[in-house]
Structure 1
Amino acid sequence: SAGCCLASELSFILEPSDVIAVRDQPLMLDCQVQGERPITITWRKNGMPLPFSPRVQVLENGTLLIQRFQKRREGIDADMGEYDCAAQNRYGLLVSRKAKVHLASLPKFHTDPVSMSVNEGGVARFQCQINGIPEATITWEKDKGPLNTSDSRYTLLPMGILQVTGVRKADTGIFRCVATNIANTRYSHDATLNVTGGAPRIYKEPVILSGPQNLTITVHQTAILECIATGNPRPIVSWSRLDGRSIGVEGIQVVGTGNLMISDVTLQHSGVYVCAANRPGTRMRRTALGRLVVQDQIINKKLLEEKGSEISCF
């Protein structure tokens, strides 16, 4: 019949949403519905009805409670997966969106900082990388204590990069990364910074220690392009675009001695960026290139379809 199921008869107040769960901690997924009672709420995981137990139960309001989230049980992936709930009353059945449940994790560092020797007045750079779910917060320690980041010679960039410019004898020491997320805290291997005596003021050609990486980000995010150079006299770092268009001034900042930060990026910021290290007063220069790709927020049809609730009639 034409009016067999009116969406107004059964509708969601709260649907389950994607979440990152912590092992051995409780997890709750919402499924709150309004409509004519009685309403039956059922839950599925990966399309199969969810077996209930004292550990996995549905509360009065339809919420799914998993007492202690498990990683593996009898050799199968236990609680990770896609969950949805269905509500049924005499008018029909309403199925929620699918919610992906991931497990928080913090594996070992896949890049550890590497020890280095630097002349006084030179530049040091350390980097660590780790793939956490959710993304880990990275901080740095020197000689097992927190790094004094208020010192303007220390520049911390995302991607776990630490730059030290105008290196002094007092910078000698052991550096390491600390990564933290809801799953764990991990420490990287130690890296020693060895500062060698103030070399006689001999001429050194400009060298780019580390140039900009290719970077793909979404509109409105912040882009940071790295450029750190050494030489004697100290080189002057400048930025340009390969296509000759102006970088502009709006939302543009230099971080540390030569890194380029573009806040609130737009599609127009896409392009190849050139970092140049120039020897003062001459045409002597070294360059490094990096491509910045700015993507629009992805609003594709598939995503919209997944978000929409299905209604079926009986």
Structure 2
Amino acid sequence: GRPHSSSAASCSVGSVSLASELSFLLEPSDVIAVRDRPLLLDCQVQGEEPIMVTWRRNGAPVNSSPRVRVLANGTLFIQNFQKRKEGSDADVGEYECAAQNRYGLLVSRKAKVQMASLPKFHTHPVSMKVDKGGVARFQCQINGVPEANITWERDRVPLSTSDKRYTLLPMGILQVTGVRQVDAGVFRCVATNIANTRYSHDARLNISGKTNIPVKTYKEPVILSGPQNLTLTVHQTAILECIATGNPKPIVSWSRLDGRSIGVEGIQVLGTGNLMISDVSLQHSGVYVCAANRPGTRMRRTALGRLEVQAPPEFLQWPQSVSKPAGGSAVFTCVAQGVPEPHLIWLKNGKVLVPGNNVKLTNNNR
């Protein structure tokens, strides 16, 4: 999932020998569950037996029932995932498992559990009329969990992606360049995920009866649609849209506002001018400029979009176990990095550590 500005990392500390220390072999992962289907959340622990594993959802204990139970290996099993239940909350929420033996208690990461859904389209494609040789653009938007796969149909037949004049961008945009009479028809968007399949409203593409605009007729370059501001996580793919018209046909180019090179690694052009950056890193953050130039001149139009790349929290330094005599001092160090800057939380036996007379947190809780 995408990161939130309140990203947090937690550090658990102990003071026992390594041989008896509890540690996770497998922690629960973020997951998207399907309604009325089984769900398994992992929690495998090693350490001195006996080990008791319990589960919490949104901070409250998960009670065992014929439908929900903890398996022998610590896994939480939900027989049929529910959105709503009589007299209680839904199964969605943040889950964590806690493992305890005679030496202490260890709490897992919080796993976000969502239910797959595909609500109605909130943006439908709109009918348009385009001159021959011009550019057509349709867009649809839908908020699916997980993100829906978008395809297009013309006159109820799946659109062929082999035609180079047709560009399908994953965020629900269809671009048609060099429009011909054969492109006329009724278009619609098809969204599919594990929850459902939905169809958008119809949008008709009409081609005006004019012949191609004579070469001598000059039309200034115009950017029909430029790049949007994007916030992504490292390793995702960024697609910055840029589609332009004009006569003669404008040349689309990309640059960064800060003058730094965009580079070539993982860079690809989709269609006639859309920029795709695969496997984004923190270095890709910046403002991108799309320029539509009239060939052979300095006449151009520009559009800007900001790409912000975030990185989830990760530990650079972990707290180490120590043995100290009564009355002595112990220092635990925990360093994490991420974008935005992570907020560190200390836990003792699974409970948030509160600074007091004999407990001090320094240097941003490190």
Shared fold, TM over 0.5? yes
- 2:19 partner SS: helix
Structure 1 equivalent of residue 355 of structure 2: none
Partner of 1:173: 185
CA contact (8 A) 1:26 1:66 kept: yes
Return the offset for 1:200: 5.1
Tell me what 1:56 maps to. 68
Q: Could you say which residue in structure 2 is the equivalent of 1:230?
A: 245
Is 1:43 matched with 2:58?
A: no
- Code of the aligned partner of 1:105: S
When the two chains are superposed, the root-mean-square deviation of aligned CA atoms in Å is: 2.7
Q: Aligned runs of 1:156-305 on 2, under 5 Å?
A: 156-199=168-211, 201-202=213-214, 203=217, 204-298=219-313, 299-300=337-338
Deviations 1:191-210 (A, max 9, x none): 11111224352423322111
Q: 1:47 to 1:248 in 2, by over 3 A?
A: closer
- The alignment status of 1:82 with 2:97, answered yes or no, reads no
Provide the residue aligned with 1:110 in structure 2: 122
The reply on whether 1:16 has 2:15 as its aligned counterpart is no
Q: CA deviation at 1:119?
A: 1.1
Cα separation, 2, equivalents of 1:270 and 1:258: 20
Post-superposition shift, 1:128? Answer: 1.1
Corresponding residue for residue 153 of structure 1? 165
* Alpha carbons 1:96, 1:310 under 8 Å: kept: no
How far apart are the structure 2 equivalents of 1:274 and 1:302? 30
Alignment length (residue pairs) = 309
Give, in whole Å, the separation in 2 of the partners of 1:38 and 1:249.
Answer: 55
Q: 1:123 to 1:59 in 2, by over 3 A?
A: same
What TM-score do you get using the length of structure 2 for normalisation?
A: 0.75
5+ residue gaps, structure 2, are 1-13, 314-336, 352-366
Mapped contact 1:93–1:311 kept (Cα < 8 A): yes
The correspondence of residues 113-128 of structure 1 with structure 2, limited to 5 A, is 113-128=125-140
Match of 1:68 in 2: 80
Contact map agreement 2:132 2:212 (CA 8 A) in 1: no
Which residue identity does 2:225 align to in structure 1? S
SS of equivalent to 1:113: coil
Structure 1: stretches of 5+ with no match in the other structure: none
Aligned to 2:111: 99
1:170 is paired with a residue whose SS is helix
How has the CA–CA distance of structure 1 residues 198 and 83 changed in structure 2, closer, same or farther, with 3 Å as cutoff? same
Q: How far apart in 2 are the matches of 1:99 and 1:294?
A: 23
Flag the 1:8–1:48 CA change in 2: closer, same or farther, 3 A. farther
How far apart are the structure 1 equivalents of 2:167 and 2:236?
20
The answer on whether the counterparts of 2:149 and 2:170 sit within 8 Å (CA) in structure 1 is no
Q: Given that residues 113 and 128 in structure 1 are in contact (C-alpha distance below 8 angstroms), is that contact kept between their aligned partners in structure 2? A: yes
| Shift in CA distance, 64/220, structure 1 to aligned 2, threshold 3 Å | closer
Bigger mean CA deviation after superposition, 58-67 or 27-36: 27-36
CA distance in 1, matches of 2:45, 2:212: 76
Contact 1:7 1:311 in 2 (8 A): no
User: Per-residue deviation at 1:58?
Assistant: 1.8
1:145-168 CA deviation, whole Å, 9 max, x = no partner?
211001111111132111111111
Of 195-204 and 251-260, deviating more is: 195-204
2:50 touches 2:101 (CA, 8 Å); kept in 1?
A: yes
With over 3 angstroms needed to count, the CA separation of the structure-2 counterparts of 1:72 and 1:311, relative to structure 1, is closer
Select the structure with the greater relative contact order (CA < 8 A; seq sep ≥ 6): 2
Classify the secondary structure of the residue corresponding to 1:277: strand
SS state of the match for residue 72, structure 1? coil
Give the superposition deviation at 1:54: 0.8
TM-aligned CA deviation for residue 100 of structure 1? 2.0
Q: Secondary structure at the match of 2:138?
A: strand
Q: Give the distance between the partners of 2:95 and 2:198, measured in 1 at CA.
A: 31
